[in-house]
Structure 1
Amino acid sequence: MTDRWKVTVDPRVCVRTGLCAASAPKEFQLDERGQGRATADVLPASEEVLEVAESCPIEAISITDAETAELVFPPPD
């Protein structure tokens, strides 16, 4: 696993709680509709980013390894 992750917030699933942006404002922000999004296409891998994804109440955040495209979160079934 590399030290860079591609982080995606699915706008069709996001219910605009703002939890991601409040928890990690350097990595997540809210768009003009109040939906969360990553501040960059690729973020440094960190426990903080993983914790935000895990705490999303509807799992709208997915994380993949930027180099291998291996799914980091949510875990495969």
Structure 2
Amino acid sequence: MGEWTVELDRDKCIGTGMCTSTAPHRFRFDGGKSTPVDGVVEPDEAVIDAAESCPVEAILVRAADGTVLAPEL
């Protein structure tokens, strides 16, 4: 399956903390907004859950081939 890339649009982020509570090992707060701990991660369902739980869809998770895994479109 390969590694996933995790992108977070800080302009969209409203700092609800949903991602940091869903996947605390993958996201952290920085300046009142979330940021990924790492931009490239091993497949981890918690990252998908975090992206799906973001109320403003600020998180984008892609497979190694570029396919969008989350959020579902």
TM-score scaled by length of structure 1: 0.83
Contact 2:22 2:49 in 1 (8 A): no
Local SS of the residue matching 1:49:
helix
1:36 aligned to 10, 14, 34, which one? 34
Shift of 1:23: 1.8
For structure 1, list consecutive stretches of 5 or more residues without a partner in the other structure: none
Q: Aligned pairs, how many? A: 73
Structure 1 runs (4+) greater than 4 angstroms displaced: none
2:71 aligned to 58, 69, 74, which one? 74
Shift of 1:10: 0.4
Identity %: 33
Deviations 1:16-73, CA, capped at 9 Å, x for gaps? 1111112211111111x111111011011121111111011111100111x2112112
Contact 1:18 1:34 in 2 (8 A): no
TM-score scaled by length of structure 2: 0.87
For structure 2, list consecutive stretches of 5 or more residues without a partner in the other structure: none
RMSD over aligned Cα atoms = 1.3
Matches within 5 A, 1:50-69: 50-65=48-63, 67-69=64-66
